Amino acid sequence: MSDAQTAGASLLAVSDLRTWFHTDQGVARAVDGVSFEVRGRETLGIVGESGCGKTVTSLSVLGLLPQPPAKIQEGSSIRFEGEELVGASTKRMRALRGNEISMIFQEPMSSLNPVYKVGDQIGEALRLHRGMNKRASRAEAVRLLTEVGIPEPDRRVDEYPHQLSGGMRQRVMIAMALSCEPQLLIADEPTTALDVTIQAQILELLASLRDSHGMAVLLITHDLGVVAEVCDRVVVMYAGQVVETGTVHEIFQDPQHPYTRGLLDSLPSVDDPGQRLRSIPGTVPNPIAWPHGCRFKDRCSLAGPGCEKPQDLVELGVDRAARCWRVES
């Protein structure tokens, strides 16, 4: 895990991604100039609150946003192993998805088809992408279910999604995502709908599969605890922009952006439970009308002169940056 930062070459490079939505109320700039890189075998976390643009970012990478209303703006670039995905044909994206890049979502029940057996759904990807026949794909489905830790895989392969618990459904989703040995797994809030003991099982499974398959994981979550447990590097998003990047240790031990600090401070602390929580005042702004200048200034305790102009990401070192003019000094 620790050598991932040095060992991995760039697998996915997102640069100045702008995904806007044209709505009746106006243009929602959900993702507004996001850049980051995922390297081979690492786990990169994108963390932020609802409406910060983290899910739209991942759907843009996969080409899963209906256009219109979404529109990826001119100048945006998403490169996977050097290949530009913005503007790639539907056919090409279909070949990539599931094969090279896989995704698991928050609610496995709504991503699984309720009228097909689990084995048939895993087998579908194997037949489409790996050209297996029915018998071979069934055997491979059983092997995958074993690998993701489902007890009695021979029996479970013939069950329907409603017969499985939430944790087992998420394991089935992971089995499907793994079926074509992807290089990148995008996990969007994979444990948010699960209880903590089941969450711990799934996070452990994801980490061990990442290591055994040598894949990279892009983990999207709002849960700072999950980020701290599994990520190598972290991207913090706020109001459609990246506000801070760094290694997981830098982000948690030495946060630079006032928003990152505010998020960490608002968590109940195990060490001093009697303390009053430090909250961030106000609410997340509306993507149709992001605040002018620094987008966080209306909620920031340090706001003052200098914050009225748009903020740039200030480089603080290798893979380390924060979008606040104050960090320069």
Partner 1 sequence: MLESGVVSAKPHIDRSGPPLLSVRGLKKHFPIRKGTFGRVVGQVKAVDGVDFDLWPGETLGLVGESGCGKSTTGRAVLRLLEPTDGSVHFDGDDVRALDKEGLRKLRRRAQFVFQDPFGSLNPRMSVGAMLEEALKVHGLGGPNRRDRAVELLERVGLRSEHVDRYPHEFSGGQRQRLGIARALSVEPDFLVLDEPVSALDVSVQAQVVNLLEDLQRELGLTYLFIAHDLALVEHVSDRVSVMYLGRIVETAFSHDLYRDPRHPYTHALLSAVPRPDPAGREDRERVVLTGDVPSPSDPPPGCPFHPRCPNPRKDGRCSTVYPGAETAGDGHSAACHYPYFKV
Residues of this chain that bind partner 1 (CB under 8 A): 49-50, 151, 165, 167-168, 195-201, 203-204, 222-229, 231, 248-249, 252-253, 262-264, 266-270, 273, 275-281, 283-284, 299
Q: For the CB of residue 164, give the shortest distance to partner 1 in the complex, in Å.
A: 9
Q: For the CB of residue 37, give the shortest distance to partner 1 in the complex, in Å.
A: 20
Given the complex with partner 1, which of 179 and 191 has the nearer CB atom?
A: 191
Measured distance CA(132)–CA(249) in Å, rounded: 44
Q: Which of 98, 99, 81, 62 is nearest to 8 (CA)?
A: 81
Radius of gyration over alpha carbons of the chain, in Å? Answer: 21
CA-based torsion, 222, 184, 42, 29: positive or negative? negative
Q: How many helices (H) and strands (E) does the chain have?
A: 12, 13
Q: For the CB of residue 303, give the shortest distance to partner 1 in the complex, in Å.
A: 15
**What residues form DSSP beta bridges with 258?**
none
Given the complex with partner 1, which of 49 and 319 has the nearer CB atom?
A: 49
Given the complex with partner 1, which of 66 and 151 has the nearer CB atom?
A: 151
Measured distance CA(108)–CA(110) in Å, rounded: 5
Q: For the CB of residue 76, give the shortest distance to partner 1 in the complex, in Å.
A: 27
Given the complex with partner 1, which of 95 and 264 has the nearer CB atom?
A: 264
Is residue 303 exposed (0-12), middle (13-18) or buried (19+ Cβ within 10 Å)?
middle
Q: For the CB of residue 162, give the shortest distance to partner 1 in the complex, in Å.
A: 14
Given the complex with partner 1, which of 139 and 228 has the nearer CB atom?
A: 228
Measured distance CA(30)–CA(18) in Å, rounded: 8
